[in-house]
Structure 1
Amino acid sequence: MLLWSSLGGCWKLGCEDWMRSSSQLPKQDYEALQERCLIDGCLFEDQSFPATLRSIGRGPLLRKLPERVYWRRPPELHSNPQFYSAKAKRLDLCQGLVGDCWFLAALQALTLHQDILSRVVPLNQSFTEKYAGIFRFWFWHFGKWIPVVVDDRLPVNEAGQLVFVSSTYKNLFWGALLEKAYAKLSGSYEDLQRGQVSEALVDFTGGVTMTINLVEAPCNLWDILTRAIYSRALIGCQTHAGKERVLENGLVDGHAYTLTGIRKVTSKHGPEYLVKLRNPWGKVEWKGDWSDSSSTWELLSPKERILLLRKENDGEFWMTLRDFKTHFTLLVICKLSPGLLSQEGGQTWLYTMLEGRWEKGTTAGGQMRSPRDMFWKNPQFLLSVWRPQEGRRLHMPCSVLVSLLQKPRHRHRNRKPYLAIGFYLFRMNQSYDNQRRLPPEFFWENAPLNWPETFLTEKEVSRELWLEPGTYLIVPCTSEPRQESEFVLRVFSRSHVFYEIGSSSSVVFSKEIVDPNEGQDEFFTKVFEKYPEINAIQLQKILNRMPWSGLGSKQPLFSLEACQGILALLDLNASGTMGIQEFRHLWKQLMLYQKVFHKQDTHRSGSLNWAQLRAAMREAGIVLSGNISQLMLIRYGGPDLQMDFVSFVHLMLRVENMEDVFQNLTQDGRGIYLRKPEWLMMSLYS
């Protein structure tokens, strides 16, 4: 027997039974609803997604619920509720009773990039300023960003604990409210029970997902992961399909994880390639080699071990790439811009999106099985590809990324599962002008250049193609004829024209997009062609040749001593050099330091005083007391108690380094115990 209770609120939005059959969300004006609540002195109640059993669902999820379930607002659950806090750990969310590990794994990948997260979760919402019990989130929904409005009534048990997603910080509620908004978009909490990491990643970013079957993983998987991590891709993975259960090795079968980092380390037996993963449960970890309690950590230098190993049951752990490929089946990489695998020069991609549908009797032809089947009835799209810079790379094909997305066929995403979809690619060797559709004879006489490897019952299938300049035909289809659904077809390339045969308008949505990381990738490639391993002298040359455009006319000059200090902080295996991973990490930090330094250097003097230093460090995520800040200025600043950019970089790297050490060694968050070799290593070398 379930008992339900809800407190508070008076402003309601009538929306009848839209959930029973409609495939569209109700249109709700967030600003107008909030203003109306503030004027009336009421808290918002969303009748389109009410605080009742109807929003939970009607299936197996009900059997998981506690005997008594109440709906409470965050101010009723905590004396100091906060929507979001930048000071909280980035991975602070834990899965609740809903089997939505796929959603949470994608969400945790999102938290690694605050600017991307803030597109989905407006972080300026609160329970104090203009609080009216109403919150808004944004999701990418088949070509456009749509808002989803919810009230803040959340299901809790008798003890006041959240039934679904919660934070390790009991006063933070952004994760629980985002899950509620996604449940509303999907139909109900019950509709989050099953899904793919790739589906949520697309909804959070509008990016393109690439799924790698780890049983058939490419030999350059480590290189792919390296490019993905440092081009700000979001990465999830899944274990073998099956009932969600904990195995003896600590992994959970039939479960999704977030890939949060990679690291090449040097052990006594040679190099090891490690991946860092997190369980959305916030607990239950891998027990094999390189786990928190594994003896393999003794094979590393003390410094490397201290900085990487964190013995805490928080669901995050390391394992080798070899074990990762053995125990996980799928790796999902969501790229915000298309150049993940491509190594072409240039920074501009052209993006075109077209919408279509498969209709029974007219355009639902199914897959290609025999020369005279119904395949020719499927929607047909012409793609013209040309080389953007004639005369360069004349014998090199062009990279074209094709993404096929199918729309849900029911308001409740799990009521009608996704169809198995794919697409074929044909080369056009002659013109078919003024054709509403290419005739069946074309498909009898021409074999596809590209067949779907498998028809996947997923929201998106994508593939990178390498095409010579010319005209091509793309035919998206379902695995069986007469299956109905709507779809979106996206094409990314350096230069192309893309349109549907027989359509009145050639382009529905087309624009140029810039991949900011591609210029950096080209820069990194040139650096490491010249310096595969960078020592202090080479680092000095690189940093002093950089334009540092973000610092204005005050260009920094890195001394050899400063570069030796920087290298010591990043050189985990004490080799006297840094590799590509360490340099990319350094580069990311330098861009952040340049930004905050320039912002606080209001007089453009090229240096910071005590107040400016403290403000710059706070903006970069480091909060120190006034006394400590003063000591840092004396230690790293000049005789006039001013700190230049080079000294600021050295200080910030050192503080962040020691912060990582403390977090990895502390058991209670208040203190640590160091053995003598570890103390000497951290005191003298870093």
Structure 2
Amino acid sequence: MNNDDLYKKALQNQLQFNLYTDNDVEKISNLINSRKTVVNVINTDNKNYLHSTEMNSDSNRIENMGNATMSNMEFAKPNKAMESKQSNYDKIVSQCINRNVLWQDPDFPATSISMYYNNPIPYNPIIWKRPFEIISNPHFIKDGASRFDIKQGLLGNCWFLAALSCLTPNEKMFNKVAPDQSFTEKYCGVFKFNFWQYGEWVQVIIDDRLPTYNNQLIYQSSHDKAEFWGALLEKAYAKLTGSYEALTGGHASEAMTDFTGGLCEGYNPREKKPDELFFIVNNSLKKCSLISCSIESKGTAIESELSNGLIVGHAYGVTSITKIGHYKLIRIRNPWGDKHEWKGAWCDGSREWSQISKDDRIKNEIKFDNDGEFWMSIDDFIRNFTKMEVCNVNMHDFDEFSEIKSWKSNYYEGKWTNGITAGGCRNNKQTYSINPQFIININDLNKDKDDTGNVLVGLIQKDRRKLKKRTFFPIGFDIYKIANNTSTQHNGKINMLSKNQILSMSPTVMSPSYINLREIAGRYKLAVGTYCIVPTTFDPNCESDFIVRVYTENETEIIEADNNFEKSKTDLTNTETFKNQLDNDLDLFKQINGNDGVLDVYEFENFLNQYFSQNNRCKYLLDTCRTIFSYYDDEFRGKLNYEQFKKLYSKLIVIQKCFKQFDMDKNGSFNVIELRCALFNLGYKITNKMYSYIVLRYKEGNALTFSNFVSLIFDIDHLIEFYNKLKSTTNLNCRLDDVSIIVNNDVVLNLQ
């Protein structure tokens, strides 16, 4: 088939190319002429999308395309979410001041819908009031923000308040979350707060109406009744998650991450020696890490008090650690902010303090009040607490001049898609290898001899808290060390580890456990080399967006592994069995083609179903026959001669045999796993993005029928043929992965 024939066959198609330079546009200008064509122009330096236009008018002639796009189009702008929110806040303030009104938030109204979705508040009536309606002279912050300002209300959100008590001592971090505001200057009832959400800082704008009962705040309050930063910050976080009730029950690690963007790791204190735990806490606090702790409620009611004064199933904040003489002491704070404190050794006013000088007490800010804060020995901490969470923070995010040694952080967003990239944990051997894979390089070992690990890896699933308490999936990850010859790089991509490869390897390290937390993380000592991180849910086919985060001592990057699309040149027809079947069945051609020696599409469809398929599992639909028939009807006569029929029929034998082999449950259709195996058997390497598109485009319901499978194979091969012809004719700088076929404004196949 010559080029003219090839382009005639594509006459009614819309062909889309991602072109990498101005010259590429010119290379096809003489080939595609006036046919309706979409051209995407991409700048390869930063991969910014520039322009898309239809080439169906003189003003958009393809030879003019370079000037119309590369010279005149603006590059895509970076994400300006924070700037946009800031301008929105300023706009609200300006409008309210001009109209002399107090703002009312339409997205988080002062009604029960913002308070709860299942469990009504046991108080009536609930009245929403602004701070100046509660007290005559309200302050946002009075005499500086302090952990002692925090007092838990009706909500069971101690996890949130414990994290908040750890945040307040660091002024720069606190000011990032809660910028300075007031009830006097430009006051119009609107306040703003910032939270880290999955890779970026977002601004949450609220009005200052707060739910009250008998003129008392129902939720968080301050010990100073004139101070409202805590109540307003809690409201902003409730808006972020959907409602106040959505804050009931959680883990301090969630809030610590949202306050700082840090990566949290968990410890069981009982598994650590006193000196080891002291070092971890002391070193973490020096790096401005946030730390919380709690006691697991095994067989004990949540938030019940033990005889020693500690509360089970309740989150505390770790606010300090010190060594005085040979005593190693740790300071803990209960967000209830009252007399519920530790009653053992080193509790408030205990006899142990008589051994500590007045100067040491002043130096370590030791005081005794019923404020929820207390000291205990590191040994008692290990004996009593079962969980400690450390949020590792990059202080350069808050202070570019900070001299505190910080981690180098990277993250990558991904998605588990049912049947495509949601393979489940390693127990699921048939599907495990389809999970996303991410490659990192460890270039240098940390030289700190006291270091407990040189790499932090975290896996965070996009927040499901907003979805009316929809639970998190149990998640985890495996990390494999890759030999130099295990994973290959081709055309800028790193190929995924195959099923056989990955199942033959043992993970170098694994996440601590599969657990239904928003984020799971671990600290590891990894030798110099290349590693593959495989994030998974415990069960297959669990759909969710996720982020993989990697903290290292030195700069590195995360690269998602994916296969380049390609088709092997293996000849699946070069067998004696195949040739015998072909010879026998071609004898039928003469019996069914009538007297003209050619087949029309109806005779072709009848032949396939009556003589060839003879199986309801492999039923050929007339529309499918028309599609594949047209690919071999070079002269557009609506007829196939013997040679054309022979080529087409040879291909159908291979496709039908493959379908029967991989239709494991014999139901006449492929599920997404069977489809992937069948494509691989036919010699196709499929990118995850391409496979996602194939499933969406060709499946019916939850399955892909035999007819659709046949159409898919012919569509892929037709596109490959067109690409190869164009490539050989024009030397076009365009990869096969970047080509699409569009018919009647519908993308038929997109190899991206």
- Provide TM-score, normalisation by structure 1: 0.64
In the TM superposition, residue 199 of structure 1 has moved relative to its aligned partner by 0.5
Q: In the alignment, is residue 129 of structure 1 matched against residue 185 of structure 2? A: yes
Q: Secondary structure at the match of 1:168?
A: coil
CA 1:166–1:208 in 2, change beyond 3 Å: closer, same or farther?
same
Q: Partner letter of residue 173 of structure 2?
A: I
Instruction: Show CA shifts across 1:623-646 (max 9, x none).
Output: xxxxxxxxxxxxxxxxxxxxxxxx
Q: In the alignment, is residue 360 of structure 1 matched against residue 418 of structure 2? A: yes
Q: Secondary structure at the match of 1:481?
A: coil
Kept in 2: contact 1:207–1:334 (CA 8 A): yes
Give me the whole-angstrom Cα distance separating, in 2, the residues matched to 1:116 and 1:457. Answer: 28
Which residue does 1:336 correspond to in 2?
Answer: 393
The alignment of Structure 1 onto Structure 2 pairs a total of residues equal to 463
In the TM superposition, residue 305 of structure 1 has moved relative to its aligned partner by 5.1
Kept in 2: contact 1:387–1:398 (CA 8 A): no
CA 1:275–1:373 in 2, change beyond 3 Å: closer, same or farther?
same
Give me the whole-angstrom Cα distance separating, in 2, the residues matched to 1:34 and 1:439. Answer: 56
Instruction: Show CA shifts across 1:98-117 (max 9, x none).
Output: 00000000011100111110
Q: Partner letter of residue 245 of structure 1?
A: S
Q: Partner letter of residue 182 of structure 2?
A: S
1:501 paired residue among 561, 567, 587: 561
Q: In the alignment, is residue 176 of structure 1 matched against residue 212 of structure 2? A: no
Task: Kindly report which structure 2 residues correspond to 1:459-474, keeping only aligned pairs within 5 A, or say none.
Answer: 459-474=518-533
Give me the whole-angstrom Cα distance separating, in 2, the residues matched to 1:454 and 1:205. Answer: 25
Task: Kindly report which structure 2 residues correspond to 1:564-579, keeping only aligned pairs within 5 A, or say none.
Answer: none
Give me the whole-angstrom Cα distance separating, in 1, the residues matched to 2:404 and 2:374. Answer: 37
Q: Secondary structure at the match of 1:68?
A: coil
Kept in 2: contact 1:397–1:469 (CA 8 A): no
Give me the whole-angstrom Cα distance separating, in 2, the residues matched to 1:398 and 1:330. Answer: 19
Give me the whole-angstrom Cα distance separating, in 2, the residues matched to 1:305 and 1:398. Answer: 34
CA 1:251–1:427 in 2, change beyond 3 Å: closer, same or farther?
same
Q: Secondary structure at the match of 2:216?
A: coil
Q: In the alignment, is residue 82 of structure 1 matched against residue 142 of structure 2? A: no
Which residue does 2:459 correspond to in 1?
Answer: 404
In the TM superposition, residue 398 of structure 1 has moved relative to its aligned partner by 8.5
Q: In the alignment, is residue 320 of structure 1 matched against residue 377 of structure 2? A: yes
Q: Secondary structure at the match of 1:263?
A: strand
Q: Partner letter of residue 238 of structure 1?
A: S
Instruction: Show CA shifts across 1:298-337 (max 9, x none).
Output: 2333544566542211111111111111221111111213
1:211 paired residue among 232, 247, 266: 266
Q: In the alignment, is residue 40 of structure 1 matched against residue 99 of structure 2? A: yes
In the TM superposition, residue 66 of structure 1 has moved relative to its aligned partner by 2.2
2:152 paired residue among 84, 95, 100: 95
Kept in 1: contact 2:161–2:335 (CA 8 A): yes
Give me the whole-angstrom Cα distance separating, in 1, the residues matched to 2:416 and 2:459. Answer: 13
In the TM superposition, residue 87 of structure 1 has moved relative to its aligned partner by 4.1
Kept in 2: contact 1:78–1:171 (CA 8 A): yes
Q: In the alignment, is residue 275 of structure 1 matched against residue 330 of structure 2? A: yes
Instruction: Show CA shifts across 1:381-409 (max 9, x none).
Output: 111222389xx999x99922212111123
Instruction: Show CA shifts across 1:567-596 (max 9, x none).
Output: xxxxxxxxxxxxxxxxxxxxxxxxxxxxxx
In the TM superposition, residue 58 of structure 1 has moved relative to its aligned partner by 2.6
Which residue does 1:290 correspond to in 2?
Answer: 346
Kept in 1: contact 2:461–2:547 (CA 8 A): yes
Give me the whole-angstrom Cα distance separating, in 2, the residues matched to 1:294 and 1:437. Answer: 61
Give me the whole-angstrom Cα distance separating, in 1, the residues matched to 2:226 and 2:164. Answer: 19
Q: In the alignment, is residue 161 of structure 1 matched against residue 216 of structure 2? A: yes
Q: Secondary structure at the match of 2:231?
A: helix
Give me the whole-angstrom Cα distance separating, in 1, the residues matched to 2:452 and 2:310. Answer: 42
CA 1:420–1:107 in 2, change beyond 3 Å: closer, same or farther?
same
Could you tell me the percent identity over the aligned residues?
Answer: 39
Which residue does 1:415 correspond to in 2?
Answer: 469
CA 1:469–1:346 in 2, change beyond 3 Å: closer, same or farther?
farther
Give me the whole-angstrom Cα distance separating, in 2, the residues matched to 1:379 and 1:282. Answer: 45
1:442 paired residue among 473, 493, 501: 501
Instruction: Please report the RMSD computed on the Cα atoms of aligned residues, expressed in angstroms.
Output: 2.8
Kept in 1: contact 2:495–2:562 (CA 8 A): yes
In the TM superposition, residue 347 of structure 1 has moved relative to its aligned partner by 5.8
In the TM superposition, residue 214 of structure 1 has moved relative to its aligned partner by 1.6
CA 1:403–1:83 in 2, change beyond 3 Å: closer, same or farther?
same
CA radius of gyration, larger in: 2
Q: Secondary structure at the match of 2:138?
A: coil
In the TM superposition, residue 361 of structure 1 has moved relative to its aligned partner by 0.7
Instruction: Show CA shifts across 1:512-538 (max 9, x none).
Output: xxxxxxxxxxxxxxxxxxxxxxxxxxx
CA 1:454–1:294 in 2, change beyond 3 Å: closer, same or farther?
same
In the TM superposition, residue 157 of structure 1 has moved relative to its aligned partner by 0.9
Kept in 2: contact 1:352–1:492 (CA 8 A): yes
Unaligned runs of 5+ in 1: 1-23, 340-344, 505-686
CA 1:35–1:224 in 2, change beyond 3 Å: closer, same or farther?
same
Q: Secondary structure at the match of 1:290?
A: coil
Which residue does 2:129 correspond to in 1?
Answer: 72
Q: Secondary structure at the match of 1:253?
A: coil
In the TM superposition, residue 178 of structure 1 has moved relative to its aligned partner by 0.3
